[in-house]
Amino acid sequence: MPKPIFVLNGPNLNLLGVREPAIYGAETLSDVRRRTEARAKSLGLDVDFRQSNSEGQLVDWIQEAREKACGIILNAGAYTHTSVAILDALTAAEKPVIELHLSNVFRREGFRHHSYVSPAAQGVICGFGGKGYELAVEAMADIVAGRQAAKG
Ligand code: CA2
């Protein structure tokens, strides 16, 4: 088994399924975790799924990924739109990164259209709710196996 994919979730995502189902869906973060783990297992991969409301904790986990992960799937939540620290950590990690959002951020407020994460990411998935986590695992499986189709 290769190193796990770190699936990192940022602030307020622990509220999934509890508030604002019209935007983020009815699934809880535990539901999303289960479907992510199942998809990874079906592809022969392992995931390490985490959530924190703290920017520094996310930076620490991204640093940890440099040694312990084969890649990083990151839903940085609102830090996506504010955090140079997370961008710097992702760049330093030298691992494949997929940026992920439940909602289609481009259909929402203008301040969500800019991402500090995107320059460090191989690709971005948004707008597919919890299904996006499965899509991200599939894409990461291809990247890790050297099968990725496009290079940006
Ligand atoms: O669509 C996404 O996944 C976001 O990363 C979610 C962030 C938002 O700031 C980004 O622009 C897009 C917010 C996560 C908050 O999650 C909640 C879930 C349920 C209830 C309230 C907040």
Answer yes or no: is pLDDT of 152 > 90. Answer: no
Strands (E), 20-151: 47-51, 71-75, 97-101, 123-126
pTM exceeding 0.85: yes
For position 72, what pLDDT does the model report? 98
The CATH class that applies to domain 5-144 reads: alpha beta
> Using a 6 Å cutoff on CB, does residue 124 contact ligand 1?
no
Q: Which residue has the higher pLDDT, 123 or 151?
A: 123
Residue 18 has what pLDDT? 82
Per-domain boundaries in the chain? 5-144
Tens-place pLDDT, residues 120-137: 999 999 999 999 999 999
- Confirm or reject: Cβ of 9 under 6 Å from ligand 1: no
H or E stretch at 9: strand 5-9
Structure tokens at 8: 């990192």
Q: What pLDDT is stored for residue 149 in this prediction?
A: 67
For ligand 1, atom 2, the nearest C-alpha belongs to 101
d(CA 114, CA 49): 25
